[in-house]
Chains A and B, each alone.
Chain A
């Protein structure tokens, strides 16, 4: 019983530390239960050298712990955020909140993937986006956001590094974007959190720790995608 309680608490802490990436629509303590209960029930069932009582006691202990944690989660608000975590606002009016992303073991490409899954393809069409405590993603788009999504934006720079694959897809040279960064007063590519470019010439640029900006450029030789 004590061993089960220790494993439960350790798993719960680890799940909370892992951030929202590891959770999918379950609160961390619910995921821990899911992970534990199947194993606890299976081991004595499959291994005849272990008394069945051991499985029953462990499952019962898990039940008590789960009920206690659920009660705390529902009744004691300050502890709710400790047990289940808080929603993380990863996009606000200033753009992407890199700190919140890192806290949840996510990066810009994960965020863009979540946005696409939610039906938003352009970073500048979002006012707010957040990861709920159970790991689900919610976004509040700007008014008329559909008109802003006329072409698929590609990530050109992700966390200070050029994405060579996407660069090849655009058919543009790295130097083209480096010139734009220079004109915009960006001292180094490493300082860029994200740079996306869509086929119409709209760029989304955000330096680390800075507010995002959108730019309009003309691609050489009338390139588009």
Chain B
């Protein structure tokens, strides 16, 4: 019985630890990514964003993405890749008017995606 209880406690501890880690890590990653996107958005809005700015955001995303794949379904992560690639190209071409809606999509995704994995009634059911 003591062995069973110890095993249950250990498993619960691992599960709770994983849940807390996933929640915090996802939130932190997307907060940082969201802040980078906001900066790029402001620069693009002022028509000051350059290809290297956009590439810097992409490189930072690529580094985060590797770890996010461990905790998030790959389809969700890949959505960022698609839109971000278009945005980088549009900024490189100085098509700011077209890049801004793409950046808004990315900012919105970065804000909302972590909450779709948070423990809430809507997500459980």
Contacts and interface: CB of A to CB of B under 8 A. Distances in A.
B124 A51 contact: no
Interface in A43-63: 48-51, 53-54, 57, 60-61, 63
Interface in B30-72: 69-72
Interface in A35-82: 48-51, 53-54, 57, 60-61, 63-64, 67-68, 70-71, 75
Nearest to A49: B74
Interface residues of B, number: 20
B105 interface: no
A3 B15 CA distance: 13
A67 B8 contact: yes
B73 A49 contact: yes
A2 interface: yes
Contacts of B83: none
Given A6-B124, A67-B7, A67-B8, A49 B75 contact: yes
A67 B119 CA distance: 24
Given A63-B11, A64-B11, A71 B18 contact: no
B109 interface: no
B74 A51 contact: yes
- Place the interface of chain A in its size category: 20 to 34
A53 B124 contact: no
B11 A53 contact: no
A51 B19 CA distance: 14
B15 A51 contact: no
A55 to B, nearest CB: 12
B72 A2 contact: no
B98 interface: no
Contacts of B119: 2
A17 interface: no
A107 B119 CA distance: 45
A51 B1 CA distance: 34
A51 B70 CA distance: 6
B12 interface: yes
B116 to A, nearest CB: 13
A172 interface: no
A225 B18 CA distance: 70
Nearest to B11: A64
A71 B71 CA distance: 32
Contacts of A70: 4
A21 B14 CA distance: 37
Contacts of B72: 51
Nearest to B9: A64
A42 B19 CA distance: 21
B80 to A, nearest CB: 15
Interface of B: 1, 4-5, 7-8, 11-12, 14-15, 18-19, 69-75, 119, 124
Interface of A: 1-3, 6, 48-51, 53-54, 57, 60-61, 63-64, 67-68, 70-71, 75
24 contacts: A1-B15, A2-B119, A3-B124, A48-B74, A49-B74, A50-B73, A51-B70, A51-B72, A51-B73, A51-B74, A53-B18, A53-B70, A57-B15, A61-B15, A64-B8, A64-B11, A64-B15, A67-B4, A67-B7, A67-B8, A71-B1, A71-B4, A71-B5, A75-B1
